[in-house]
Structure 1
Amino acid sequence: MIQSIKNISCGAIAAALILLSAAASAQAPFPNRNITLVVPFAAGSGTDTTTRIIARELGTALGVGTVIENKAGASGSLAASFVARSAPDGYTLMVSTNTPHSANPYLLKVMSYDPIKDFTPIARTGDLPFMLVINPEVPAKSVAELIALAKKDPGKYSYASGSSAAIVSGATFARLAGIDLLHVPYKSSPPALTDLMAGRTTMMFIDVLTGLPHVKAGALKALAVTTKQKSALLPELPTMDETVKGFDITSWQGYFGPANMPKDVVTRLNAEIRKIVERPEIKAQLAERGMEAFSGTPEQFDAFLKDQLKVWEKLIADAGIEKQ
């Protein structure tokens, strides 16, 4: 009986210590423990690579560790759902793009999260330009020549896709150029690139980070960037809009937390992220990995997000892409 009382006392003391520790942690200034950054794509992707650069600097600035957690799958929905249901304390953040937060609502029949209501916008960190690449055996040196080939042989040429941006870009290109292209979808970009380089498909819209090494190696030929303005990363490439009027598709990146985050935590995170991406050496590192880095306030990011939903809704509707 005495032993049982001792055991109960020890257990009560241990429980009390845990509660006291948790209370102390909750009352301590933010941040006081590691921050997890959830990435909706696989390790090695453009988003993952650029996140690791910013995460390293963010951890140093805040004096805590940063943990990258890759939750790839369902076009970013797995990661988005996970973060949306996390505690809104600033310790679980999502590094998202146009795929989960702009395109998915119009591409997926079933959505497990709301891109606006379930998240707190923290900071936009920049754009990840896409470019049109073709197999080197295709006898075209420009977008105009590629269109001419496709018009000469309707249905002969195909475009591979490994992301929402690639799907929408390919369908938009076909519509605006008035050409008949076969869509060959893949679960991710690597296998799509493999088939493109092997000549099993004709063309693909791919992010600069993933596609540029193959262009430099001569395994692919780059024809244009998808943004309406020329890319500072690839000033030698024309824009799609120069040949296909109205073509303007931007892949963006930004940091989110769950809905209802404390304003002071959002302000602190935004301030540190903005300082990081505005540093010349960080801009240079991100540029080497295909990202044009810049930032702004949470309010500016929120307005941008709402506008992008309209942009992608129209892009997807105009391209005639049905929800899957």
Structure 2
Amino acid sequence: MAGLDIAHLPYKGGGQAIVDVVSGQVPLGMLGFAPALPHIRSGRLTALAVTGEQRIALLPDVPTMQELGLKMVTLQWVGISLPRGTPREIVERLHHATVRASRDEQFISRVEAIGMSVKISHKTSDFAEFIRQDIARWPAMV
């Protein structure tokens, strides 16, 4: 999309990728915001852009990829999954407990402190649909 000639270096996790970018082993990385934030704040990393739909309040001067002319939006998301066949009553009970926990002000404050936000699926089927849509977007970007 940007006309860049760069190589994809797969990592088993973001931690080693951050170490390699901070140390200069690799010149550029597309890193998770929360683990990269301390390095950005310390000046060891420079944030060039964020991949979300809007700027992040913790880094208000860092543009989105869209603002830079790249039609690319990626989101980091976390969810709870259970094995297929888990009894519906267990799925619903866990979902309701997760919804309750996600409304806790202390939890929300901690999540926002690392530049993330809390968005909860009101139904378990909403989350499943979100995952299907997210998977469908990736072939075009990759």
TM-score range, shorter chain: 0.7 to 0.9
Cα drift, residue 224 of structure 1? 1.3
Does the CA-based 8 Å contact 1:241-1:247 persist in structure 2?
Answer: yes
Cα distance change on mapping 1:187 and 1:269 into 2, 3 Å:
closer
1:86-131 deviation per Cα after TM superposition (whole angstroms, max 9, x unaligned):
xxxxxxxxxxxxxxxxxxxxxxxxxxxxxxxxxxxxxxxxxxxxxx
Q: Compute the displacement of 1:304 (Å).
A: 1.1
Paired residue secondary structure (1:255): coil
Pick one of 72, 81, 95 that aligns with 1:270: 95
Q: CA deviation at 1:247?
A: 1.2
Bigger relative CO (Cα 8 Å, ≥ 6 apart): 1
Deviations 1:257-307 (A, max 9, x none): 111222222221111111111222211112223431120210211211221
- Alignment length, in residue pairs? 141
CA distance, structure 2, for counterparts of residue 265 and residue 234 of structure 1: 40
- What's the secondary structure of 1:192's corresponding residue? helix
- For 1:187 and 1:314, how far apart are their aligned partners in 2? 22
**Residue 105 (structure 2) pairs with residue 241 (structure 1):** no
Paired position in structure 2 for 1:310: 136
The TM-score normalised by the length of structure 2 is 0.86
**Which has the larger helix fraction?**
1
- Measure the CA separation in 2 of the matches of 1:269 and 1:188: 27
1:292 and 2:117 correspond: yes
In structure 2, the residue matched to 1:198 is: 23
Q: Please give the TM-score of this superposition, normalised by the length of structure 1.
A: 0.40
In the TM superposition, what whole-angstrom CA distance separates every residue of 1:30-65 from its partner, at most 9, and x where no partner exists? xxxxxxxxxxxxxxxxxxxxxxxxxxxxxxxxxxxx
Larger gyration radius, structure 1 or structure 2: 1
Q: Deviations over 1:137-196 (max 9, x none)?
A: xxxxxxxxxxxxxxxxxxxxxxxxxxxxxxxxxxxxxxx111212334433333332232
Q: Determine the C-alpha separation between the residues in 2 that align with 1:212 and 1:286.
A: 13
After the TM superposition, which residues 1-324 of structure 1 pair with which residues of structure 2 at under 5 Å, given as runs?
A: 176-296=1-121, 297-316=123-142
Structure 1's unaligned 5+ residue stretches are: 1-175, 317-324
Structure 2: gaps (5+ residues): none
SS of alignment partner, residue 136 of structure 2: helix
**TM-fit CA distance, 1:232:** 4.2
In 2, the alpha carbon distance for the partners of 1:309 and 1:182 equals 22
SS at the partner of 1:240?
coil
Contact 1:233 1:292 in 2 (8 A): no
Shift in Å, 1:233? 4.5
Residues in 2 aligned to 1:267 and 1:180: alpha-carbon distance in whole angstroms: 47
C-alpha contact (below 8 Å) 2:34/2:114 kept by paired residues: yes
Give the letter for the 1:254 counterpart. G
Deviation at 1:313, TM superposition (A): 3.0
Give, in angstroms, the shift of residue 222 of structure 1: 1.0
Q: CA deviation at 1:249?
A: 1.2
- The amino acid of 2:98's aligned partner reads I
Distance in 2 (alpha carbons) for counterparts of 1:200 and 1:264: 49
Q: What one-letter code is carried by the residue in structure 1 that aligns with 2:23?
A: A
Indicate if the aligned counterparts of 2:53 and 2:64 stay in contact, CA closer than 8 A: yes
Distance 1:236 1:281, change over 3 A: farther
CA–CA separation in structure 2 for the residues paired with 1:213 and 1:179 = 28
